[in-house]
Each structure stands twice: as C-alpha cells, then as structure tokens.
Amino acid sequence: MIKATYKKYILNFKNPSGTSRGVLRTKETWFILLEENGKSGIGETGLFRGLSIDDVPNYEEKLIWVCSNIDKGEELLLKELFEFPSIQFGLEQAFLSLRSKDSFELFPSEFTKGNESISINGLVWMGDKEFMKTQIKEKLKTGFSCIKMKIGAIDFDTEIALLKSIRNEFSSNEIELRVDANGAFTKENALEKLSVLSALDLHSIEQPIKQGQLEEMAFLCEKTPLPIALDEELIGVFTESDKKTLLETIQPQYIILKPSLVGGIAGSKEWISIAENNNIDWWITSALESNIGLNVIAQFTYDLQNKLPQGLGTGGLFTNNFTSPLTVANGALHYNNAIQWDFKL
C-alpha cells in the first residue's frame, strides 16, 4: 500500500532574477512524497507562475486529490492529470524514485557514475547593461563555450551592442551565442530584428513573438535568417495530434522542452518523436526547479544522448536549495558522487 503526501517549499533567489515576465525573488514549488514498505520516493512539481498552463487556483486541491487517489496507480493518474503537466512530472519522478535502488539515481548511467558530463549553456539574466556584461564575463571565465542571453527587457540597441561586444572578442567557433526573446518582438518588427541579430552569427533565437500566433510564427520560421526555437509555443498543447499539427504548421528549426511545462518525461518523449519525424532538432531546458527536479531532468537528458548544449540550470540560483552531487565546471553539468544528497523539508 502506497502512502502519498505533498509539501510546499519556497525557494529564495540569491539575486533578484529578471525575465520578460518581471523580476523573480522567490519561486514556490511542491514535492510529492511516496512511501511503501519502508522505501520512499520524491518528485518535484515545478509550477512556474505566469507561464505554466496549470497555474490555476485549484492547483493544491489537485495535489490533495493525487495523494488521496494514489492507489489508482501511476498510469491512470497520469492520464487524468493531462491538464496538469507539472504534477504529471512530479508524479513520474516520485514513482521512479520509489522503484529505484537509490531514491536519487533514477536513470543509472556514466553520468550518474561521475564519468561523463552534460554540456550546458551559461544563462545571462536580463538587467541593465553593466549587470549583463558582468554575467557574460563570469560565464566566459568559468569555461562556458555556449551562452544564452535573455533579450527583450532593455533597449534593443543596447542588447545588440552587448552581443556585438562579445562577437568582437570571440568568434562563433569560440563562443556559441543563443538568445531568448520570450515573445518580446511584435509580428510587425520581428523579421527586421531577426535580420539585425543574424549579422552577429548567433546559433538561434527562442520564441521571437508571443505564442499562439501560428500563421505569423510559420511565416517567420520560413523567412528567418536566424534559426528559431519554439519554447512557450509548446505549453498547453496536450494531444499527440495537436502537437503534430503545431510542428507541421510552423516548421521551426528547433524546439525546446521544459519537462515541468510539457508533461514530464512522457510528454517530452512524445514531442521529440514528432520533431524528429519532421527533421526538427531539439534540446532540453530546466525551468527553475530545485536540485530535486533538476536531478531528474539532467539524468533523463543524458539518457537521450543529444549532443547540443542543453539548457540545464545549475542549482546555484537559490540560497536554500538542497545539497546535491550536481556541480558545474567548464561549461558542463557533472554528477560528483563525493557530495551526498541532503534533502530536508
């Protein structure tokens, strides 16, 4: 007999972090805790306020429902939770954790043995010019060869000047530059801005215009001089047929998968399968989870063996994250087994 409970936890940012949706100081998250025959399982339901499709008033009620209906079994619960992708992912994690020999090693591999690492991009948060410049220098100093910069919050010309200053110092062979507009451009000015950005030899741009404008996004993906990656566009698309329609209509160059936002492991695998059938490349990104959620995303990502730099957080954004073997060195995420997990709520 499985016993299920859940707990809320507030993660505190070390520094207020700027996004196009405002400045983040805290991030609330929840954990699903399973117990059976003396064994425990942990899963994080990483709701992202203002972005997750399941950011609804009855979110905690749904968690209560999951815990009181845990005897329905994983498969049936996941089906019934199709409109709650973050809870789906937390539940997948918790069951994987419960069944694993080690609650934290869910996809045993050369990564979890500490023999191999995952190449990741260094994320530069939005802010004023000096703050962003400082972050860029820090990322380069710590060995990142792929940098992702969020744009769209400050003046476009200032952002272009920042990107130019990197390019003047480092060629695209030395530093891969990705930008994320979080839908900040309009359909009227997007193509012009993409042309300006393409002169800087960038790898790609995420979500240039707001999601839900399928015809406009399809037009941009067809005409763009700079590869486009869909991100927010994938949120709230639940059925396999709707996913197919979306990708076949827009034909993006890349898609970006945040498991907490697209239905966890099963949801991500479905998107990947459809993308690959349409010759669309992809990578995986975390979405401000604690080290519990990041751990599962990292192990799952390594298992998929995608060689592009992945968008995996480092766990270092929060003052009260959980001690874990996940460490960053030389632009890669490592699993250092000399560091023990310390998960206390």
Number of other residues whose CB lies within 10 A of the CB of residue 260: 30
Confidence (pLDDT) at 123? 87
Confidence (pLDDT) at 256? 98
Q: Is the pLDDT of residue 183 over 70?
A: yes
Confidence (pLDDT) at 206? 96
- Across the beta sheet with 176-180, the strand order is 122-124, 146-150, 176-180, 204-206, 228-230, 254-257, 281-284
pLDDT confidence tier of residue 199, bands split at 50, 70 and 90: very high
pLDDT confidence tier of residue 299, bands split at 50, 70 and 90: very high
Query: Treating both helix axes as pointing N-terminal to C-terminal, what angle do 291-304 and 264-277 enclose, rounded to 10 degrees?
Result: 30
133 counts as catalytic: no
Contact 224, 251 (CB under 8 A): no
Domain ranges in the chain with CATH number 3.20.20.120 = 118-335
Mean pLDDT of all residues in 216-222 = 97
Amino acid of residue 130: E
Q: Is the pLDDT of residue 151 over 70?
A: yes
Class of domain 118-335: alpha beta
Confidence (pLDDT) at 245? 97
What is the rounded CA–CA span in Å between residue 320 and residue 166? 33
H helices within 238-290, ranges in order?
Answer: 240-250, 264-277
More reliable by pLDDT, 134 or 190: 190
CATH topology of domain 3-99: Enolase-like; domain 1 (3.30.390)
User: Which one of 49-53, 178-182, 295-299 scores highest in mean pLDDT?
Assistant: 295-299
Q: Please report, for the chain, how many H helices and E strands are present, in that order.
A: 10, 13
Specify the pairing of strand 254-257 against strand 228-230: parallel
Could you tell me which residues are beta bridge partners of residue 150? 180
pLDDT confidence tier of residue 20, bands split at 50, 70 and 90: low
pTM score, two decimals? 0.94
Mean pLDDT of all residues in 42-50 = 94
Mean pLDDT of all residues in 185-194 = 95
- Torsional sign, CA 128, 179, 90, 77: positive
Domain ranges in the chain with CATH number 3.30.390.10 = 3-99
Annotated catalytic residue: which of 62, 150, 193, 243? 150
Mean pLDDT of all residues in 91-97 = 98
Annotated catalytic residue: which of 258, 269, 307, 344? 258
39 counts as catalytic: no
